[in-house]
């Protein structure tokens, strides 16, 4: 490895670490507690966190514009008193994710704002994103169980509970309990 390559890698790593420090300092002033081992990959400034938000270790939060359409910016808006557990994957790249206040996001949850098309005309890695299903809205006082997945273009209503391991393919009405793959109504909350 040449000295120039080593210098560029070191500079890039330093710059990434500096961006993380600046972002974490900004979030701390807003009352957000982000575990030092969480990764905040924000190339867009289209995000807002409420007071009392907690982000667990090894969670990956990403806010980036859409790779195919830079005008289509991603966004992440988190309400007050939201708990985001460990090992979560929250990707607001090219779509907007909104999480309502008092929501609990358990461990290993995936919230993906956009998905790729699956046409046969080109390799999967070269597929553009699906334009008509973007973003996720998680209502107020929602509990997302460990390991659940919420797909793009959906809304999880206020007070809903998503069971551990569920894959949410359709919008969830308020105060419903959904579980399974694909997630279906189990019952309504009393």
Catalytic residues: 116
Exposure letters 17-45 (e unless 16+ CB within 10 A, then b): eeebeebbeebeeeebebeeebebbbebe
Separation between Cα atoms, residue 143 and residue 83, nearest integer Å? 10
Contact 109, 147 (CB under 8 A): yes
94: which residues sit within 8 A by CB, 6+ positions away?
64, 65, 66, 67, 68, 69, 72, 73, 74, 113, 114, 129, 134
């Amino acid at each position: 490895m040449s000295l120039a390559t080593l210098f560029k890698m070191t500079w890039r790593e330093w710059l990434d670490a500096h961006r993380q420090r600046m972002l974490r300092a900004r979030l701390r002033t807003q009352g957000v507690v982000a575990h030092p081992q969480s990764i905040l990959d924000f190339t867009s400034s289209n995000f807002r966190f409420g007071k009392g938000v907690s982000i667990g270790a090894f969670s990956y939060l990403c806010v980036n514009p859409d790779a195919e359409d830079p005008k289509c910016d991603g966004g992440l808006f988190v309400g007050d008193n939201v708990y985001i557990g460990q090992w979560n994957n929250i990707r607001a790249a090219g779509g907007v994710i909104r999480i309502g206040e008092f929501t609990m996001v358990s461990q290993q949850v995936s919230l993906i704002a956009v998905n790729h098309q699956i046409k046969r005309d080109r390799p999967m890695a070269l597929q553009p994103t699906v334009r008509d299903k973007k973003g996720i809205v998680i209502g107020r006082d929602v509990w997302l169980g460990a390991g659940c997945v919420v797909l793009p273009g959906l809304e999880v209503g206020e007070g809903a509970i998503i069971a551990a391991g569920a894959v949410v393919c359709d919008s969830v009405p308020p105060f419903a309990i959904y579980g399974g793959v694909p997630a279906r109504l189990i019952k309504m909350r009393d």
